[in-house]
Amino acid sequence: MAYDLLQTIAGPADLKKLSVAELKTLAQDIRDAICDQVSQTGGHLAPNLGVVELTLALHYVFDFGPDDDRLLFDVGHQCYPHKLITGRLDLLSKLRQRGGMAGFPEPGESDHDLFSVGHAGTAISTAVGMARGDQLMGQGGHKVVSLIGDASIVNGVALEGLNNAGTLNRQFLVVLNDNGMSIAKPQGAMAGYFDRIRVSHRYAGFKSKSRSILERVPGGRKLQSLYHRSTEALKAMLKSEHLFEHFGLTCVGPVDGHDFDTLIPLLQEIKLMQRPVLLHAKTIKGKGFDFSTGDPTAFHSPKPFVVNGCRVDVKSSGRAFTEAYADAMIELMNKDDKVVAVTAAMPDGTGLAKVAKALPDRVIDTGICESHAMDMCAGMAKTGVKPFFAVYSTFAQRALDQVFQEVALQKLPVRVCMDRGGFVGGDGAVHHGFMDIAMLRTLPNVVQLAPCDEATLQAGLKFMHEYDAGASFIRYPRDSVPTEPLQAETPAFELGKANPIHASDHDKPAAAILAYGVMVNTALAALPGLQQQGYDIAIYDARFAMPIDIELIRSLIEQGTPIVTIEDHALEGGFGSIVLDACNQAGLPTDQVKRLGMPKSWAGPDSRGNQLAEAGLTPERLASAVRELIDQRDASPVVVPDPVPTPK
Amino acid sequence: MAYDLLQTIAGPADLKKLSVAELKTLAQDIRDAICDQVSQTGGHLAPNLGVVELTLALHYVFDFGPDDDRLLFDVGHQCYPHKLITGRLDLLSKLRQRGGMAGFPEPGESDHDLFSVGHAGTAISTAVGMARGDQLMGQGGHKVVSLIGDASIVNGVALEGLNNAGTLNRQFLVVLNDNGMSIAKPQGAMAGYFDRIRVSHRYAGFKSKSRSILERVPGGRKLQSLYHRSTEALKAMLKSEHLFEHFGLTCVGPVDGHDFDTLIPLLQEIKLMQRPVLLHAKTIKGKGFDFSTGDPTAFHSPKPFVVNGCRVDVKSSGRAFTEAYADAMIELMNKDDKVVAVTAAMPDGTGLAKVAKALPDRVIDTGICESHAMDMCAGMAKTGVKPFFAVYSTFAQRALDQVFQEVALQKLPVRVCMDRGGFVGGDGAVHHGFMDIAMLRTLPNVVQLAPCDEATLQAGLKFMHEYDAGASFIRYPRDSVPTEPLQAETPAFELGKANPIHASDHDKPAAAILAYGVMVNTALAALPGLQQQGYDIAIYDARFAMPIDIELIRSLIEQGTPIVTIEDHALEGGFGSIVLDACNQAGLPTDQVKRLGMPKSWAGPDSRGNQLAEAGLTPERLASAVRELIDQRDASPVVVPDPVPTPK
């Protein structure tokens, strides 16, 4: 491994010994290390390349550490440079894999990381908490810095955080990493605002006497005095007309976020300001990597790729549910011009980028605003439009209250398509879709369904398109669709009805597997082994978690067939739990019901396959669960009523 | 009933026939009607008195109706004037009661109401959806107006909505009702901003020719041309330096929100603007009612009161859990200076107003920002502070994603105290706390508990104070605490352990009631009747929903004791559902478990008592459930093994 200078950096202390010229070499090392690794394993490429200088300058000026200054990353996918200079170069070769470097901040890896994050917009709010907390604990000397991108800062939580940060009466720095691209193209009016303000001042020739002046500036809203009393150089950087001045922050910039000669002296100055400050830094997403700079959206978080002359080929891994979803949406939208597709800044991740190419006027990207997007869908549904909101399951959590009030309570037919249901692989604990069923199940007027292959995805979407009585939520995983449909003919979805996938050889099977979503494939994979061992099993594709097919369950239980449920959702409160509730409500015993699902623990970065295996959601474990249930039943004494004596 | 003019207004059409002088009389009628009624039944007083003129002016100028212009209320507690002029005067006498006028917009009452709301910050987002939807449905001529207060507009969803509204290329009006008070005192830096900008221009002498000029103004960002081409009067109203200009909205005002002579011609002009516009109106909360203007916080939503000379006495209804909570917090905070209390704009509703009087430096009000508040608590917990976030159960829904990521995933000991668990009475469906258990139960490192009286509330808070292994959530209702403690000595809370409240008279009771939270009182009330009928019952205060006391449940089930669970939370996915899951996981049968809880439906405004009765959560219904379970078990054939013959 090369990266000679990077290898000498065991921690921030080593960094501080470097000259600015050496910092530039280090920046190149970091870029090389990241590019080399991401090309092999995939990962967040462009966001990390964009913040190399910002990260180094922040560590150069501040003293971040467990009992010292606080550095909080928003979203966190831009933490690789930070990780590489805090002793984790050796973990890089297993980026986003078990035992390797997580793709997001991870306190379990290093106490240089404060929060495990992955969802956007939270850093300013947690930073406000730490600033207040340190103050209350008598540790007000710890400086607090948060690093947030321009797409995240328009998220509601971030704006709430900024508004509250503006009331702080102490040092508090928000670094706005404005690359004008973020995950996809930024949306909303503020994006246009960011776009209009260009780097207009170069911070150079900073005069050291301004420091002593600034040290005497008291907290509070004294921007004007700063204007008049500080040096010309700093004066030029302060922006009274900046948007976030209205939030009570002193705004500095925009500055060139790749220029150490600007960043370092400026941060040294800002560090001393006993007030909330926003430093607006303009950066280039994917800086230093040509392919990445050219198409930062595609290279936001690419799969493994190879640099092949001038072409970059992304390695394929089968047809994803995401792509199947995109194609199904295009078909649906071509048939009905009332259908509109909505995303909250994830056009690539949800497949809507492809839809937008085909039907640009009917795809709406709200930016990272899941709460707003859900409400906007509610408003659209109210007018008769048919909105389909494509969102990761984990991000749908951000709109629960909107589902409750603006959607379910109004009985509005908003359609929500939840990608990344279940384990997500390398993104780890911050992105698994494990709680959607549980959080939605209390709501009246909400239907929950799941496909098991591409044909059922299409059929499920068709059902949702026609279902106008309330909201419908479909979930599917970050996984490939089976290469062949599971059934030669896929029956249409019928509300609350499961679909038999494999019938028993006899009138009454030894056990039934009731699988939700793609776990149907797991059940089918378990079947041959069970059959070989002489177990006669029926398999049902549950299709609906809500309403549950209680008639099917009743008939199975009443005929004495044990049931195994399987789902890639939290076992606690999930699909199997709905089955138990429904049985109890219907007066049916549940001692012959066994459930498999995700355990109550946090699964770190790994392949989705390994995560499923760890959770016991494999054909082998399913088969043994089925066998145990059957064997246990057969072993227990069956009470056969005495035959009534036949009258002679 | 007086209010002569108001009685002649059957709908907005009648309003439009009035002169401005008559509008003023109508405004007085509306104020009188509201004051008279709220003094008898309670309700949102001050917010409604503040928007009388704004509401009348909007209806005077726009044509709101099911197939016409759109009017969306944010929060919605300021909808009384709107309801009174849309044919609902006759419902006023039963304000917030069954069959009467709901306290929030209610489409079920009138198609003049678009969304049932009650949570803040949503109207701009749903309005954006309706604006887009109408456009897509070829109904772009419908004008869209949302009315939002200054405390709501800093909520994250509202800011997300504004940012997206700024991209609309059509008519879109946001009316900012800036009373500078909102629910409690507004928090955050923007509140200071609003405070600094004062009504500086009176819109009078408007020249009619400006209308024709404005009609020719194309959409888009042409504020400058407006400046130069419109009349002096309108020019003076346009504010290029307004905060929300940065969000892409053309900002007008501030204007006097009580002055018809300003509002009507201005709205007539703004109505024609084919772009997003924000009208900033300054109003006085509680305008026209002296007691209310004097103390708008206390009279935001008072209980019934009587005007008694110069004094206003609020009628008491026992010692509320809210007050008991406040006193318990004061005691806790006096003992440990690391404890901090947090509210999101509900100091009165949560009891923290009382705490703040005692300990002003350790109560933080973030404004209506539940997501931010939760994250701030996470940040504080990270520094070693012990934050207790007091929030309504229904509003905790807005911070689920923050509980997941910033709290539970980090194993941070954030304490959340959820008032308004269960049915809330007059506020109706928008405020019931029915999904907290279900939404939290999938999360590792989260403990859920509930008190049944004041002593257990204190003991529960003490437990939470000492519990550092993760987050803890306590829930209690909008109800009075029992006048006497349920037990002479209240044992300390022990993680995951239920507390026996009433022991069986024998070794083995005929049935056990496992009650969660205040339902313990319901169980105790059911006891005498059951005892009289000869049923020997044990009662347990479950105390914890998570972790559940599986050892207790196991021992009951193994000894053949039927169990009835009862909770004032959704039956689906709630406490009883956790019992079923735990039994199934432990291999225990559940055919002798019966559950009572809130049904899957929306309960409208009524007394909490009636809502509980409707849901079957009464001593009588509990008693019959217990009897049925026992009788049913006794009726089923009991398999008694043949006695082994004694060897002779």
Tens-digit pLDDT profile for residues B152-182:
998 999 999 999 999 999 999 999 999 875 4
Helices B575-585 and B550-558 cross at an angle (nearest 10°) of: 70
**pLDDT at B636 > cutoff 80:** no
Q: How far apart are CA A647 and CA B39, in angstroms?
A: 79
- Closest partner residue to B190 among A136, A246, A591, by Cβ? A246
Counting one residue from chain A and one from chain B, the pairs whose CB atoms sit within 8 A come to 398
* Mean local confidence (pLDDT), A347-364: 96
Contact A346, A392 (CB under 8 A): yes
Query: Are the beta carbons of A383 and B591 separated by less than 8 Å?
Result: no
Catalytic residue among A239, A271, A285, A287: A285
Q: What is the mean pLDDT of chain B?
A: 88
Cβ(B182)–Cβ(B345) below 8 Å:
yes
Q: Are A251 and A223 spatial neighbours (Cβ–Cβ below 8 Å)?
A: no
Is A591 part of the contact surface with chain B (CB cutoff 8 Å)? yes
**Which pLDDT value is given to residue A337?**
96
- pLDDT value at residue B573: 98
Query: A240, A275, A372: best mutation site toward chain B, by most B Cβ within 10 Å?
Result: A372
Distance from CA of B545 to the nearest CA of A (A): 12
Nearest residue of A to residue B377, measured between CA atoms: A129
Q: Is the pLDDT of residue B648 over 50?
A: no
Burial B625-638 (b: 16+ CB within 10 A, else e): bbbebbeebeeeee
Distance from CA of B325 to the nearest CA of A (A): 23
CA angle B369–B370–B374, rounded 5-degree value? 120
Given a cut of 70, whether residue A218 has pLDDT beyond it is no
CA of residue A26 relative to chain centroid, distance:
30
- C-alpha pair distances (Å), B278 with each of A194, B148, B153, B241, B251: 21, 10, 11, 13, 5
- Cα distance between residue A39 and residue A304, in whole Å: 5
Is residue A223 less than 8 Å (CB to CB) from chain B?
Answer: no
Does A593 contact B at CB distance below 8 Å?
yes
pLDDT in tens, A397-426: 999 999 999 999 999 999 999 999 999 999
Q: Mutate which of A116, A275, A371, A436 to test chain B, going by most B C-beta atoms within 10 A?
A: A371
Q: Which of A88, A275, A362, A398 is catalytic?
A: A398
Residue A202: the pLDDT is 38
Residue A610 DSSP SS3: helix
CA of A303 vs chain B CAs: smallest distance (Å): 25
Beta-strand relationship, B537-541 and B511-515:
parallel
Of B75, B73, B45, B47, whose CA–CA distance to B395 is shortest?
A: B75
B304 band by pLDDT with thresholds 50, 70 and 90: low
CA separation for the pair A120, A97 (Å, rounded):
22
Q: Is A97 on the interface with B (CB under 8 A)?
A: no
Instruction: For residue A99, count CB atoms less than 10 angstroms from its CB and return exposed for 0-12, middle for 13-18, buried for 19 or more.
Output: exposed
User: Is residue B200 very low, low, confident or very high in pLDDT (cuts 50, 70, 90)?
Assistant: very low
Cα gap A556→A560, rounded to integer Å: 6
User: Rounded distance, CA B429 to CA A235, Å?
Assistant: 54
Amino acid identity of A167? T
Query: Dihedral of the CA atoms A152, A153, A154, A159 (nearest 10)?
Result: 130
Predicted local distance difference test score (pLDDT) of residue A230: 45
Q: How far apart are CA B192 and CA B150, in angstroms?
A: 11
Q: Is A489 a catalytic residue?
A: no
Please state the rounded mean pLDDT for residues A137-159.
94
CATH number attached to the domain at B499-635: 3.40.50.920
Q: Which of A213-227, A309-323, B407-421 has the highest mean pLDDT?
A: B407-421
- Among B83, B271, B275, B285, the one annotated catalytic: B285
Task: Return d(Cα B435, Cα B571) in angstroms, integer.
Answer: 9
Q: What local confidence, expressed as pLDDT, does residue A357 receive?
A: 97
Question: pLDDT tens, A26-59?
Answer: 999 999 999 989 888 888 888 899 999 999 999 9
Cross-chain Cβ contact A107/B410 below 8 Å: yes
Task: Measure in Å the smallest separation between the Cα of A353 and chain B Cα atoms.
Answer: 19
Closest by CA position to A156, among listed A379, A356, A418, A401: A401
- Is A441 near chain B, with CB under 8 Å? yes
User: Is B591 in contact with A580 (CB distance < 8 Å)?
Assistant: no
> Which pLDDT band holds residue B286 (cuts at 50, 70, 90)?
confident
pLDDT over threshold 60, residue B216: no
Report whether the peptide linkage leading into residue A547 is cis, meaning its omega lies within 30 degrees of zero: yes
Residue in A157, A380, A573 nearest the CB of B438: A573
Interchain contact B249–A (C-beta under 8 A): yes
Report the mean per-residue pLDDT for chain A.
88
Residue type, B284: I
Does A590 contact B591 at a Cβ distance shorter than 8 Å?
A: yes
What does DSSP say about strands B305-308 and B311-314: parallel, antiparallel, or unpaired? antiparallel
pLDDT in tens, B486-516: 999 999 999 999 999 999 878 899 999 999 9
Omega within 30 of 0 (cis) for the link into A302: no
Least Cα separation, residue B45 to chain A (angstroms): 23
Please indicate whether, in this complex, the C-beta atoms of B573 and A438 are within 8 angstroms of each other: yes
Residues of chain B contacting residue A118, judged by C-beta atoms under 8 Å apart:
405
3-state secondary structure of A338: coil
Distance of CA A422 to the CA centre of its chain: 12
Catalytic one of B398, B475, B543, B594: B398
Record: contact A190-B163, CB cut-off 8 A: yes
Q: pLDDT of B340-388, one tens digit each?
A: 999 999 999 999 999 999 999 999 999 999 999 999 999 999 999 999 9
> What's the gap in Å between the CA of A546 and the closest CA on chain B?
11
Higher pLDDT, A320 or A505: A320
CB of A584 within 8 Å of a chain B CB? The answer is yes
Greatest CA separation found in chain B?
A: 119
Residues of B in contact with A167 (CB under 8 A): 187-189
- How far apart CA A388 and CA A396 sit, in angstroms, is 13
Nearest to A589 among B161, B364, B589 (CB): B589
Number of Cβ within a 10 Å radius of residue B560: 10
pLDDT digits (tens, 9 = 90+) for B58-112: 999 999 998 899 999 999 999 999 999 999 999 999 999 999 999 999 999 999 9
DSSP letters along A420-452, please?
Answer: S-B--STTGGGT-B-SHHHHHTT-TTEEEE--S
Q: Which of B122, B387, B584 is the closest to A580 by Cβ?
A: B584
Could you tell me which residues come within 8 angstroms of residue B449 by beta carbon, excluding any fewer than 6 positions away? B460, B463, B464, B472, B473, B474, B475, B493, B543, B544, B545
| Residue A370 annotated as catalytic | yes
Q: Does B132 contact A at CB distance below 8 Å?
A: yes
- A537's tokens: 């099993």
Position A40 scores a pLDDT of 83
**β-pair type (B363-365, B339-343):** parallel
> Is residue B248 predicted with pLDDT exceeding 90?
no
**Contacts with A576 from chain B: Cβ below 8 Å:** 584
DSSP A189: H
Q: Which of A341, A366, A416, A146 is nearest to B159 (CA)?
A: A366
The backbone torsions φ and ψ at residue A582, rounded to the nearest 5 degrees and listed phi first, read -65, -40
DSSP B246-295: GGT-EEEEEEETT-HHHHHHHHHHHTT-SSEEEEEEE--TTTT-HHHHH-
> Which chain A residues have a beta carbon less than 8 Å from that of B137?
338, 383-385
Other beta carbons within 10 Å of A149: 32
Name which of B478, B552, B483 is nearest B515 in CA terms.
Answer: B552
Q: Of the ranges A196-200, A351-355, B526-530, which one carries the lowest mean pLDDT score?
A: A196-200
What integer is the mean pLDDT of B126-132? 97
With beta carbons less than 8 A apart as the criterion, state whether B412 and B470 touch: yes
- pLDDT confidence bin for A505, thresholds 50/70/90: confident
Sequence-ordered list of residues with C-beta below 8 angstroms from that of B262, at least 6 positions apart, any chain? B202, B203, B204, B255, B256
In DSSP terms, which residues pair with B419 in a beta bridge? B392
Q: Give me the residue spans of the domains in chain B.
A: 6-290, 321-475, 499-635
| Residue B47: HSE in the Cβ half-sphere, 13 Å Cα cutoff | 28
pLDDT at B253: 83
What is Dmax (Cα atoms) for chain A?
A: 118
Q: Which residues contact A347 (CB under 8 A, 6 or more apart)?
A: A184, A297, A353, A356, A363, A365
Chain B interface mutation, best of A383, A393, A440, highest count of B Cβ atoms under 10 Å: A383
The answer to whether residue A160 neighbours chain B at the CB level (below 8 Å) is: yes
Mind listing the pLDDT tens digit for each residue in A324-340? 999 999 999 999 999 99
* DSSP at A409: T
pLDDT at A648 over 90: no
Sign of CA dihedral B6, B10, B13, B14: negative
A131: chain B residues, CB-CB within 8 Å: 379
**Chain B closest CA to A449's CA: distance in Å?**
17
pLDDT at B224: 38
| Residues from chain B contacting residue A137 (CB–CB below 8 Å) | 338, 383-385
First and final CA of chain B: distance in angstroms?
A: 94
pLDDT tens digits for range B536-573? 999 999 999 999 999 999 999 999 999 999 999 999 99
Give the residue, A561 or A644, on which the prediction is more confident: A561
Would you tell me which residues 540-579 of chain B have a C-beta closer than 8 angstroms to some C-beta of chain A?
570-574, 576-578
Q: Which of B126, B164, B443 sits opposite A378 (nearest CB)?
A: B126
B499-635 matches B6-290 in CATH topology: yes
Residues in B touching A600 (Cβ below 8 Å):
442, 444
A161 touching B, CB under 8 A? Answer: yes
Q: What are A132's two structure tokens?
A: 């207040």
Alpha carbon separation from A565 to A211, A443, A626, B498 (Å, rounded):
66, 22, 10, 30
Write the pLDDT tens digit of every residue in B566-581.
999 999 999 999 999 9
Cβ contact B128–A376 (<8 Å): yes
Evaluate whether B107 touches B428 at the Cβ level (below 8 Å): no
Q: Judge whether residue B311 has pLDDT over 50.
A: no
Do residues B237 and B273 make contact, with C-beta atoms less than 8 angstroms apart?
no
DSSP string, B553-587: HHHHHHTT--EEEEEEEESTTSHHHHHHHHHHHTT
Closest CA in chain A for residue B436? A439
Handedness of CA A47, A52, A53, A54 (dihedral sign): positive
Lowest mean pLDDT among A473-482, A635-644, B427-436: A635-644
Find out whether B373 and B342 touch, Cβ atoms under 8 Å. Answer: yes
How far apart are the C-alpha atoms of B414 and B374, rounded to whole Å?
8
Is residue A285 flagged as an active site residue? yes
The CATH superfamily assigned to A321-475 is: Thiamin diphosphate (ThDP)-binding fold, Pyr/PP domains (3.40.50.970)
- Rounded CA-CA distance B306/A441 in Å is 44
Q: How far is B549 from B449, CA to CA, in rounded Å?
A: 12
Looking at domain A6-290, its CATH superfamily turns out to be Thiamin diphosphate (ThDP)-binding fold, Pyr/PP domains (3.40.50.970)
pLDDT interval class at B197 (50, 70, 90) = low
Kindly indicate the confidence band of residue B237, based on its pLDDT and cuts at 50, 70 and 90: low
Q: Does B159 contact A at CB distance below 8 Å?
A: yes
Distance from CA of B9 to the nearest CA of A (A): 28
Active-site hit among A106, A109, A269, A370 = A370
